[in-house]
Amino acid sequence: MEVLVIEPKSEDDLQLLIELAKKLGSKIATIEKEEIEDAALHSLMKKVKTGEKVSRSTIMKKLGA
């Protein structure tokens, strides 16, 4: 099943949406924006992970560029 994420414009809107979800019998979980960003970063990192080891000097050269 899919999950719907809604970012309300105000605290009042948030409370209204929570009440509506409860009346509909839906599960409710609140998460902070930072948690969404962390999850997106984690997903991206998993996609590009190669398992290849890289030396510290190579990383430092890339960071300096």
Helix (H) / strand (E) element for 58: namely helix 56-64
**Token code pair at residue 57:** 């000097």
Could you give the CA distance from residue 28 to residue 22 in angstroms, rounded to a whole number? 8
CB 29 within 8 A of CB 18: no
In this prediction, residue 30 carries a pLDDT of 87
pLDDT, one tens digit per residue, over 14-27 is 999 999 999 999 99
Gyration radius of the chain's alpha carbons: 20
Over range 34-38, report the average pLDDT.
93
Higher pLDDT, 1 or 45: 45
Query: Which amino acid belongs to residue 32?
Result: E
